[in-house]
Amino acid sequence: MESSRRGFMKGAAAAATFLPSFSILSAKDITIGPKDDDINVALIGFGAEAKVLSESLVRIPGVRVRAVCDIWKFEQQRARGFFKSYGHEVKTYEDYREMLEKEDKNIDAVVVATPDWMHCEHACACMRAGKHVYCEKEMSNRLELAAEMCRVQKETGRLLQIGHQRRSNPRYRHCFEKVIPQMLGRVTNAYAQWNRSLLPFNTVKKPPKQSVLDKYGYKNPEQFLNWRWFYKHGGGSMVDLGSHQIDMFIWAMGVPPSSVTAIGGKDAFSPRREAYDRVMCIYEFTLPDGTKNEAYYQVLSSNARGGFYEQFMGEKAALTIAEITARGNAVQRDLGNSVNGWTNEEWRGFIDRGLILPGADDKIKKDTPKDVSVDTRITALSEGNPISVELNKPAHMPHLENFFAACRHGEKLNCPAELAYESAVAVLAANVSADTHKTHYFKPEDFKVPPRPAATPAPAAPAAPAPAAPAKA
């Protein structure tokens, strides 16, 4: 079993070497091996998100974690302990090049969960080494690096799934495939927010040695631990949290945006933050028929009031959804629509057909304040019906399962590189708009991956460094 998979992976990697740029391999051509074969996995980066992913990895049948790379010895040690407790013996490395060289024959796929600025280097090196890659969002904090990831994916024929995990969440899929198209009517507007309390900069008692930080591009422990707030490494709240939700706007609207106008704040709480911790912005979407839709987005790292959720507003109903059900879980009928609104019978039909669960809609509230005379334009409010599909596993698990199903037997990826590239274009431009205080207008071709600039040779992974003397954790 082992040898047949190895043989197949070698063959697939060798074949990929001779592929012309932009040749399209169908996912079936790059299947790892027999359906019941183990997939051997390595991780690069074992910080907070990698741990969340690992909770799912150890629960997915046939997935075996073999190696972990992290520049921080402390995290290497944690990785060994974590995986051991689930029966996985992992080797740990400081440098990904050494890991790829030494573990080449033992690894089929790599999960990249390093800070955004390293995604391109890590994902591309793994794909060039013949590995399929699951890479965390944001694809990159620099658009040219996100584009390079797409190009290398095409050239190598490897799978590249980006970690916008809502794309595989059955609640979201139910809503985007059934609730929105069947129940909302024409959707003209969307709203989303992610509000968080103010958090001080992370500090730890024993960060990696400064020599290690210097080697890997972090000026000091503060940058290393709080990379999201530094433009070299991250892109602030918009790139961190907005990336998930702007992706949902694009999914709902069916087209990428035509403009974004943003404002941002970063100076209220810490003069040391380079990137915006608060952004408010409006995206405009131009539909194929020339009509326009608008979406408003707010991300605050100053106060958590209201939490996080996404809302889609159609002429006949609205959907409020969040990754955590308690934060958003309602399909609300627009009771004031006397032109083409849903009748009671039609609404009950959606319950009968399993799109929504029975809800509080019988308790329709007439919005009639007692102390003022009622304006006829004040409409009745529906309390809404819960979404009928629940996710009963960790939020990231379906997205990883989709990735491994694509590796094993050619299932279509739910967030392939080109799709994630669209949201990267949209998200990164919000920071530009906030910087310039100007609306950023997109051209349709902005969302297509450009060819590699002629002057730039394809970045190759540098040779692995000579093994360092073993360091104490």
Summarize as ranges the residues that interact with ligand NAD (CB under 6 A): 44-50, 69-72, 75, 96, 113-116, 118, 136-138, 163, 165, 216, 240
Q: Which residue's CB is nearer to ligand NAD, number 79 or number 281? A: 79
Q: Which residue's CB is nearer to ligand NAD, number 90 or number 183? A: 90
Query: Which residue is listed with tokens 């403009």?
Result: 259
Q: Nearest distance from residue 335's CB to ligand NAD, in Å? A: 35
How is 144-164 classified by DSSP, letter by letter?
HHHHHHHHHHHHH---EEE--
Q: Nearest distance from residue 163's CB to ligand NAD, in Å? A: 4
Distances (CA, A) of 163 to 3, 39, 139: 30, 19, 8
Q: Nearest distance from residue 244's CB to ligand NAD, in Å? A: 7
Q: Nearest distance from residue 380's CB to ligand NAD, in Å? A: 37
Q: Which residue's CB is nearer to ligand NAD, number 8 or number 74? A: 74
Residue 219, token pair as written in the block: 């000026």
Q: Which residue's CB is nearer to ligand NAD, number 157 or number 234? A: 234
- Residue 149, helix vs strand vs coil: helix
Q: How far apart are CA 100 and CA 69, in angstroms?
A: 10
Q: Nearest distance from residue 158's CB to ligand NAD, in Å? A: 19
* φ, ψ of residue 148 in degrees (nearest 5): -65, -35
Q: Which residue's CB is nearer to ligand NAD, number 50 or number 248? A: 50
Q: Which residue's CB is nearer to ligand NAD, number 216 or number 269? A: 216
Q: Nearest distance from residue 134's CB to ligand NAD, in Å? A: 10
Q: Which residue's CB is nearer to ligand NAD, number 9 or number 126? A: 126
Q: Nearest distance from residue 267's CB to ligand NAD, in Å? A: 23
- Residue 209, helix vs strand vs coil: coil
User: Which residue(s) pair with 298 in the sheet?
Assistant: 193, 280
Q: Nearest distance from residue 318's CB to ligand NAD, in Å? A: 25
Q: Which residue's CB is nearer to ligand NAD, number 229 or number 347? A: 229
Distances (CA, A) of 196 to 277, 300, 303: 10, 6, 5
Q: Which residue's CB is nearer to ligand NAD, number 273 or number 316? A: 273
What's the half-sphere exposure (Cβ side, CA atoms, 13 Å) at 349? 7
Q: Using alpha carbons only, what angle is made at residue 208 by residues 203 and 212, rounded to the nearest 5 degrees?
A: 135
Q: Nearest distance from residue 226's CB to ligand NAD, in Å? A: 8
Residue 370, token pair as written in the block: 């007692």
Q: Which residue's CB is nearer to ligand NAD, number 71 or number 335? A: 71
Q: Which residue's CB is nearer to ligand NAD, number 53 or number 389? A: 53
* Count, residues in the chain: 473
User: Which residue(s) pair with 189 in the sheet?
Assistant: 294, 313
How is 211-271 classified by DSSP, letter by letter?
HHHHHTT-SSHHHHHTGGGSTTT--HHIIIIIHHHHHHHHHHHSS--SEEEEEEE-SSS-T
Q: Using alpha carbons only, what angle is made at residue 157 by residues 154 and 162, rounded to the nearest 5 degrees?
A: 70
Strand segments (E) across 244-355: 259-265, 278-286, 292-302, 308-314, 317-321, 329-333
Under 8 Å between Cβ of 74 and 373: no
**Residue 312: Cβ-neighbour burial (10 angstroms; 0-12, 13-18, 19+):** buried
Query: Which residue is listed with tokens 């060819």?
Result: 451
Number of H helices, E strands in the chain: 15, 14
**Residue number with the smallest Cβ distance to ligand NAD:** 47
Task: Annotate 251-264 with b (16+ C-beta within 10 A) or e (fewer).
Answer: bbbeebbbbbbbeb
Q: Which residue's CB is nearer to ligand NAD, number 168 or number 293? A: 168
Q: Nearest distance from residue 44's CB to ligand NAD, in Å? A: 5
Q: How far apart are CA 25 and CA 438, in angstroms?
A: 41
Q: Nearest distance from residue 238's CB to ligand NAD, in Å? A: 12
For the chain, the first-to-last Cα distance in angstroms comes to 36
Q: Nearest distance from residue 311's CB to ligand NAD, in Å? A: 20
